[in-house]
Amino acid sequence: MANEAYEATTHGVLVRVTPSFLAEHSDPQLGRFAWSYTVEIENHGHETVQLVSRHWIITDAMNRVEEVKGPGVVGEQPILGPREAFRYTSGCPLATPSGAMRGSYRMRGPDGHMFDVAIPEFSLHLPLATRSMN
């Protein structure tokens, strides 16, 4: 079964996220559920942009919310010219078998102006989970 991809386009920048459950890093008996997610960022615009920072909102099945903010992604602040893309994989632990993530990337345009690009909300949901976020 292929993992579902979630997409959003803002200001000509496409963000595609594909989450995967990491059974080998999870321990349901201890309430530890590990997920990875691969993000592809594609510049469909006509100007070069740079990813400056990230803002994640992570919600578990008990509606507990955690926000994560910081510079760049995986230690980088990629610069994307027109028709260029950047791909990375990261992870997220949850204390419940389902949840969701969403957020935004702060981007810098060629003239220095800053703008936000949406990260689509995506589901972290085990097939056997009793409660799903979406």
Dihedral of alpha carbons 120, 127, 34, 1, sign:
negative
SS3 83: coil
**What six digits make up the tokens of 92?**
């997220």
Contact residues for 74 (Cβ-Cβ < 8 A; gap 6+): 88, 89, 90
Q: Which of 94, 97, 93, 99 has its CA nearest to residue 126?
A: 97
Contact status, residue 134 vs residue 123, Cβ threshold 8 Å: yes
Amino acid at 74: V
Rounded to two decimals, the pTM is: 0.90
Q: Which of 115, 47, 51 has its CA nearest to residue 77?
A: 51
DSSP code of 73?
Answer: B
In the block, tokens 């592809």 appear at: 40
Domains parsed from the chain with CATH numbers: 6-125 (2.60.40.1470)
Amino acid at 30: L
Give pLDDT, residue 127: 66
pLDDT in tens, the chain (134 residues): 457 899 999 999 999 999 999 999 999 999 999 999 999 999 999 999 999 999 999 999 999 999 999 999 999 999 999 999 999 999 999 999 999 999 999 999 999 999 999 999 999 988 665 444 44
